[in-house]
Structure 1
Amino acid sequence: MKYKSLIGKMTLEEKASLMSGKDFWTTQNIDRLGIPSIFLADGPHGIRKQAAAADHLGLNASIPATCFPTAATVANSWNLELGEKLGEYLGEEAVAQQVNVLLGPGINMKRNPLCGRNFEYFSEDPYLAGKMAAGYIRGIQSHGISACVKHFAVNNQEERRMSIDTIVDERTLREIYLTAFEIAVKEGKTKTVMSSYNLLNGSYTNESTHLMKEILRDEWDFDGVVVTDWGGSNDRVAGLLAGNELEMPTTAGETNEEIIRAIQSGEIAEEALDECVDRLLDLIYTTEIASNRPNEYSVEKHHKVAQWAAEESIVLLKNDEKILPLKKGNTVAVIGDFAKSPRYQGAGSSIVNPTILDNVLECFDNSDIISIGYEPGFERYGKKNSKKISKACDLAKKADVVLLYLGLDEVTEAEGLDRQSMRIPENQIDLLNSLCEVNPNIVVILSCGSVVEMPWINKVKGLVHGYLTGQAGARATVRILTGDVNPSGKLAETYPVRYEDTPSYYQFPGKEVSVEYRESIYIGYRYYDTANKKVLFPFGYGLSYTDFEYSNIQVFKDRVTFKLTNTGDVSGMEIAQLYVGCMSKDIFRAKKELKGFTKVFLEAGETKEVTLSFDDITFRYFNVKTNKWEVEEAEYMISIGASSADIRLKGTLLVEGTGAPLPYDKEKLPTYYAGVASNVSLDEFENLIGYKAPVSKWDRSQPLGYNDTIAQCQYAKGGAARFAYHLMVFAHWFLIKIGKRSTANIIMMSIYHMPFRGVARMTGGIINMPMLDGILMIVNGRFFKGFNHVLKERSKMVKVAKVKKTMPNAIKET
């Protein structure tokens, strides 16, 4: 241990106190030993340090910081250098705000398009997500602070995220849901990992010794700190045994006492606590920010970097008749509420208070675009308004080109909630349909952080997808439209034709006890390619204002080389992608998988030779019989493409295997071997996971407990609890009716899906677990006994707090 001498000077109480927060955002300090607090702040795409009241839902304003494009956006750049540079600027701002641990990046897989937090994650592909995350981490930690990669692991839905049990087979867990974390740990060297709220195959993630010890610590050699998501501790002692050092936020000492009692009873060896303390001390002392470090940065310079990131990440999806870039002298009508009030970031714990915010209408003043006016065209939150449509059409008649800004609003994509559909609001489609009748030259600029259906796409000539471009996104978009910047972004996720085509359609979200990942390894393009399912836009797709030619592929044992030529008349950047597919049929596989990529800048007419090297991930698969990574001896197809569906070059390579036994009985897994795993039977899924899947529905005959949700009060024996439930549902309905959708969402995010234990874990000690026992008595039909129990435990807690408060004064007097 690095800090053995210091730990030897601590009392048991002091050691235990370090294992949970001092308040909402800081760790505990021990003044007598010179151990300072450190500050943790939200910040996947910008620093969210709150100056006043702290919360984890983005309700209260934070100190101004640069709002960079979200991870879902930057992933479309496929530029590792850009990711690292953004990390450096995030780290600089974190230091300026005295932040020791920046809670990001988020790298959960985009299993389903409706996950409400997809805007905060990179990709449906673990290799791309892991490589981008590693860049962010290196950049952030170059300033001597810590990144915190999250949410570990298999956190792929927001509904019931604090209590859902994710049922997934081991191979899929390793290959799809943990590979990005593995890259972030091994290559990014992240100092901190945040555990997720959910259970994984029956165990809370932060209590899972398989996840936390066997994989994270033993296999990946992670020696940093694991912190819970806020309020994400279920059994504090079980979490500590698994190696979860830090619980956030504070529980006012309640869980410290649990740790002390566990050590005194012998349930935990004090040496195990010492190891956790040692790792936490290392984080504290290696991220300590000296008071003389700069507390200012160039706001303008950081804004320019945010613009650069947006310019490289914007994706051109359609360009019929080369309507873009806009021709000099063309007149344009700017239509859509998002043009005047840009949708540039997500909602929830990642919301950033921007230092500057560019506006599209103002950006036109410095361009060659001749704007003849602006009309909002639609109500932002979905209400129909025929007058606005009529005014927009009158304007559109007068223009050469209509620039139509569509997308999803802030309350549709938010932490704590999943989207209800994959469509954009109907009132926006009504506007588009009307505009088509008066002007055929429509370019849609789309603003949203996740996949949407586009049954309307044949009605537009141009489609520019900005995703969520951050505070400088408006200017970046204008520069794309005018041709000042040649678009180079490509999609980091697949766009299906309709939601029903997605492989997890039948198993998302888990509504009650569990969610079954029956599609196994077949998520995103792995499914669509293998099942030959038609898609709207494939993974890796994006257009340019120039053309690129691929030639001269050569495959070697450790690499592939080829030539890339810009055959157009303007300079541009091309993202070349390496896909590898095993040609053997002995083990079920996706048709091909991304195993490398590079972004290449080429002048008009220029040719470059490109090399993509193979690594230890290129040919591996996880064998559930040997319980380790193996290589199947076989011929492998080596493909170079402009997207997963646009393969330009192919070669083959015979790869020597590790000689492992075949992991599956092919006859028992016909759907998986056929590659069409979108609606797998329960029997076949149980053959895959190797055991009987747990019952996915609530047992309504049982009394409600700590890990049941407040939503389950609808089944409670206590009339007061049922009344409270119906009152909550009514309040949610009423707030939506009167247009208070953000407030209505807060009910769902912070109350409806919260397990009862969250009431104690998230209130900073105002309600403790003994008081929660009384609340559960009320819920389960023993109103008076429960009410008295709450009052008794509250009184007891207040007395203990008073005694603790007077103890320091008593010590000083002696």
Structure 2
Amino acid sequence: MLKKLWKSKGTRVWFFVSVPVILLFAIIFIISSAVPVIYNVFNMVMPGGGPRAIYQEGIDPIYTTEYENKAEVHEAARAVNEEICEEGFVLLKNKDSALPLYTPATEGDKAASAAPKISVFGKNSVNLAYGGSGSGGTDTTSGGFVDLYAALEDAGYDVNPTLKSFYEDDGASGAKRKGNSKDLDSGDTVILTTAETPQSKYTQAVKDSYADYNDMALIVITRIGGEGFDMPRLMTRTDGDGKVTDVEGARAGKDDHFLQLDQNESDMVKAVCDAGFDRVVVVLNTGQAIETGFLEETSGYVELKGYDIDPAKIDAAIWMGFPGETGTRALGSILNGNVNPSGKLADTYSVDFKADPTWLNFGDNRITARGEGSNHVPGGDEYVFDPDEVASHDIPGVYYYFVDYEESIYYGYRYYETRGAGNEEWYNDNVVYPFGHGLSYTDFTWTADFGSLKDATIDGKTKYTVTVTVHNDGDVAGKDVVQLY
């Protein structure tokens, strides 16, 4: 039947005329239907009531800039980074006002007539961790990074050149750490060590240099870290034959983890504290909390962990995190008094990480889809997937990740602040530096008017106003952070 119709000249003419017309109408219909949708999408994401050009001659641009080129933008970003670090670095300890140590570069009438002579300790002082991993990764090979020594010299300090050269010489002081934060999410196996120099490598010539640069000792403790990689809970490694050995620097016979001082770091801190420096300052170059009990006499930490360190000999400590390209300059400005630190901790620094309830649920939480000798799902993972479905897949080595947050919201500072309520002795025994801790070179007095919030039952709907007056009681300009809980 169709063949007969197709042989008809009229049918063929009708087909070749009608089909294009129908297709044209279909296209017009689709476009006309889509235009309102597209228009509404543009309305949502673009200001000004509809889509328009980002830049068009004679029309105000949507995006404005104060910079002429990328180089200017980069320089402005470096300045912002330095400002963030000036206000973000945390002064953890400042015994007897050990800091600031004024220099000729100190602004105002407190400038020193001569440059203080200082010694910087730590293999990682010549290999700082500048950033994290993943989206926070930092490529230090691109240039533009201000190293610690340059920043200290710019701040007016005369830095021990013998000690610096010693750390720069890997043949003398040992190899630099292999891993950087940006390596942690590469998918490759990374063995994390501090790479700190053992005291046995310090020559007499290096030690003799301390006497000429003894106004201040700056001890740098570095830990890399970032997304894609949990920090090791052990200071051991297992080879292909299953043999377990300590990683370099691990304290022999101690059940330690990566976020506490290793043997070489502990020995360095003790040696510096016993070397007769006018002041000893510890700088924590780490993006995550580490065990800091060795800084405070009242923490009981050194006795608990078996360290041969006297915290009373450590005069000051600064948390600098990951400083980015220019953050080291902020450290120099804080040390010489040009900047009064105002940063506060965003976490609780507890005495013993292993005493935290989350320790039991943290770490390698991979659960294999194959049990011993058969395809079955180990108990406890039923919240993640259907065991029957997984059992039907004979794929060795497939893992499913599962963490049971047994603590609910009570981890980190929430745990310590909640459990410590009404139990001050327990709190003091378990917390070195609380959430929100951070010292200043001046003193502040707060006066709060709680208004309608006083004695009120908070219902989650009513708005309350609390007025806080902050008064600087000292003679040094400074900033404070109002914290309301």
Structure-1-length-normalised TM-score = 0.35
Is 2:125 aligned against 1:339? yes
Q: Is the 8 A contact 1:393 1:435 kept in 2?
A: no
Partner of 2:323: 469
Partner of 2:282: 444
Once the 2 structures are TM-superposed, how far is the Cα of residue 341 of structure 1 from its aligned partner?
3.0
- The correspondence of residues 88-127 of structure 1 with structure 2, limited to 5 A, is none
Q: Is the 8 A contact 1:393 1:434 kept in 2?
A: no
Partner of 1:548: 444
The whole-number CA distance in structure 1 between the counterparts of 2:477 and 2:315 is 23
The whole-number CA distance in structure 2 between the counterparts of 1:520 and 1:540 is 22
Partner of 1:396: 210
Partner of 2:30: 8
1:454 is aligned, of 292, 310, 315, to 292
Once the 2 structures are TM-superposed, how far is the Cα of residue 551 of structure 1 from its aligned partner?
2.6
The whole-number CA distance in structure 1 between the counterparts of 2:157 and 2:52 is 48
- The correspondence of residues 259-274 of structure 1 with structure 2, limited to 5 A, is none
SS in 2 for 1:529: helix
SS in 1 for 2:96: helix
**Structure 1 residues 489 and 362, CA, compared in 2 at 3 Å: closer, same or farther?**
same
Higher alpha-carbon deviation: 532-541 or 324-333: 324-333
Per-residue deviation, residues 612-665 of structure 1 (Å, max 9, x unmatched): xxxxxxxxxxxxxxxxxxxxxxxxxxxxxxxxxxxxxxxxxxxxxxxxxxxxxx
Once the 2 structures are TM-superposed, how far is the Cα of residue 432 of structure 1 from its aligned partner?
1.4
Partner of 2:434: 538
**Structure 1 residues 517 and 405, CA, compared in 2 at 3 Å: closer, same or farther?**
same
**Structure 1 residues 566 and 290, CA, compared in 2 at 3 Å: closer, same or farther?**
same
Partner of 1:517: 405
Once the 2 structures are TM-superposed, how far is the Cα of residue 325 of structure 1 from its aligned partner?
0.4
1:415 is aligned, of 219, 227, 245, to 227
Once the 2 structures are TM-superposed, how far is the Cα of residue 309 of structure 1 from its aligned partner?
1.1
Once the 2 structures are TM-superposed, how far is the Cα of residue 445 of structure 1 from its aligned partner?
1.3
The whole-number CA distance in structure 2 between the counterparts of 1:468 and 1:301 is 19
Once the 2 structures are TM-superposed, how far is the Cα of residue 524 of structure 1 from its aligned partner?
1.9
- The correspondence of residues 270-349 of structure 1 with structure 2, limited to 5 A, is 296-298=70-72, 299-327=74-102, 328=112, 329=114, 330-349=116-135
Is 2:351 aligned against 1:497? yes
Partner of 1:482: 336
Letter in 2 for 1:527: Y
**Structure 1 residues 550 and 437, CA, compared in 2 at 3 Å: closer, same or farther?**
same
The whole-number CA distance in structure 2 between the counterparts of 1:452 and 1:430 is 18
Per-residue deviation, residues 265-296 of structure 1 (Å, max 9, x unmatched): xxxxxxxxx98998699669979866998652
Per-residue deviation, residues 645-693 of structure 1 (Å, max 9, x unmatched): xxxxxxxxxxxxxxxxxxxxxxxxxxxxxxxxxxxxxxxxxxxxxxxxx
Q: Is the 8 A contact 2:199 2:264 kept in 1?
A: no
The whole-number CA distance in structure 2 between the counterparts of 1:477 and 1:309 is 11
The whole-number CA distance in structure 1 between the counterparts of 2:436 and 2:211 is 36
The whole-number CA distance in structure 1 between the counterparts of 2:406 and 2:449 is 37
2:269 is aligned, of 417, 422, 432, to 432
The whole-number CA distance in structure 2 between the counterparts of 1:486 and 1:531 is 33
**Structure 1 residues 423 and 10, CA, compared in 2 at 3 Å: closer, same or farther?**
farther
**Structure 1 residues 388 and 300, CA, compared in 2 at 3 Å: closer, same or farther?**
farther
Is 2:253 aligned against 1:357? no
Partner of 1:576: 482
SS in 2 for 1:550: strand
SS in 1 for 2:276: coil
Is 2:225 aligned against 1:371? no
Unaligned stretches of 5+ residues in structure 2: 1-26, 58-62, 103-111, 168-172, 178-193, 233-256, 296-310, 368-399, 421-426, 454-463
- The correspondence of residues 51-90 of structure 1 with structure 2, limited to 5 A, is none
Once the 2 structures are TM-superposed, how far is the Cα of residue 297 of structure 1 from its aligned partner?
4.8
* Structure having greater relative contact order (Cα 8 Å, sep ≥ 6): 2
**Structure 1 residues 555 and 357, CA, compared in 2 at 3 Å: closer, same or farther?**
same
Q: Is the 8 A contact 2:130 2:324 kept in 1?
A: yes
Q: Is the 8 A contact 2:127 2:176 kept in 1?
A: no
**Structure 1 residues 6 and 485, CA, compared in 2 at 3 Å: closer, same or farther?**
farther
Partner of 1:712: none
**Structure 1 residues 371 and 352, CA, compared in 2 at 3 Å: closer, same or farther?**
closer
Letter in 2 for 1:485: V
Letter in 1 for 2:91: L
Q: Is the 8 A contact 1:314 1:465 kept in 2?
A: yes
Once the 2 structures are TM-superposed, how far is the Cα of residue 481 of structure 1 from its aligned partner?
0.5
Per-residue deviation, residues 532-589 of structure 1 (Å, max 9, x unmatched): 233110000000000011235342252112322111110100111011xxxxxxxxxx
Structure-2-length-normalised TM-score = 0.57
Once the 2 structures are TM-superposed, how far is the Cα of residue 379 of structure 1 from its aligned partner?
5.0
The whole-number CA distance in structure 2 between the counterparts of 1:429 and 1:470 is 27
Partner of 1:604: none
- The correspondence of residues 668-687 of structure 1 with structure 2, limited to 5 A, is none
Once the 2 structures are TM-superposed, how far is the Cα of residue 370 of structure 1 from its aligned partner?
2.8
The whole-number CA distance in structure 2 between the counterparts of 1:10 and 1:438 is 82
Is 2:230 aligned against 1:405? no
Q: Is the 8 A contact 1:332 1:403 kept in 2?
A: yes
The whole-number CA distance in structure 2 between the counterparts of 1:287 and 1:517 is 48
The whole-number CA distance in structure 2 between the counterparts of 1:332 and 1:511 is 48
Q: Is the 8 A contact 1:378 1:389 kept in 2?
A: no
Q: Is the 8 A contact 1:407 1:424 kept in 2?
A: no
Q: Is the 8 A contact 1:396 1:435 kept in 2?
A: no
Letter in 2 for 1:323: A
Per-residue deviation, residues 371-425 of structure 1 (Å, max 9, x unmatched): 233433675423454454446543334312101122114xxx1432100132244
**Structure 1 residues 501 and 351, CA, compared in 2 at 3 Å: closer, same or farther?**
same
- CA RMSD between the two structures: 3.5
Q: Is the 8 A contact 1:315 1:491 kept in 2?
A: yes
Q: Is the 8 A contact 1:402 1:439 kept in 2?
A: no
Letter in 1 for 2:230: D
SS in 1 for 2:479: strand
The whole-number CA distance in structure 1 between the counterparts of 2:52 and 2:407 is 41
Letter in 2 for 1:342: L
Letter in 1 for 2:469: K
Q: Which runs of 4+ in 1 moved over 4 A?
A: 274-295
- The correspondence of residues 613-762 of structure 1 with structure 2, limited to 5 A, is none
Q: Is the 8 A contact 2:94 2:316 kept in 1?
A: yes
The whole-number CA distance in structure 1 between the counterparts of 2:216 and 2:126 is 18
Question: Per residue, is there more strand in 1 or in 2?
Answer: 1
Aligned length: 312
SS in 2 for 1:574: coil
- The correspondence of residues 1-40 of structure 1 with structure 2, limited to 5 A, is 8-9=30-31
SS in 2 for 1:488: coil
Once the 2 structures are TM-superposed, how far is the Cα of residue 465 of structure 1 from its aligned partner?
0.8
**Structure 1 residues 275 and 416, CA, compared in 2 at 3 Å: closer, same or farther?**
farther
SS in 2 for 1:394: helix
Per-residue deviation, residues 194-240 of structure 1 (Å, max 9, x unmatched): xxxxxxxxxxxxxxxxxxxxxxxxxxxxxxxxxxxxxxxxxxxxxxx
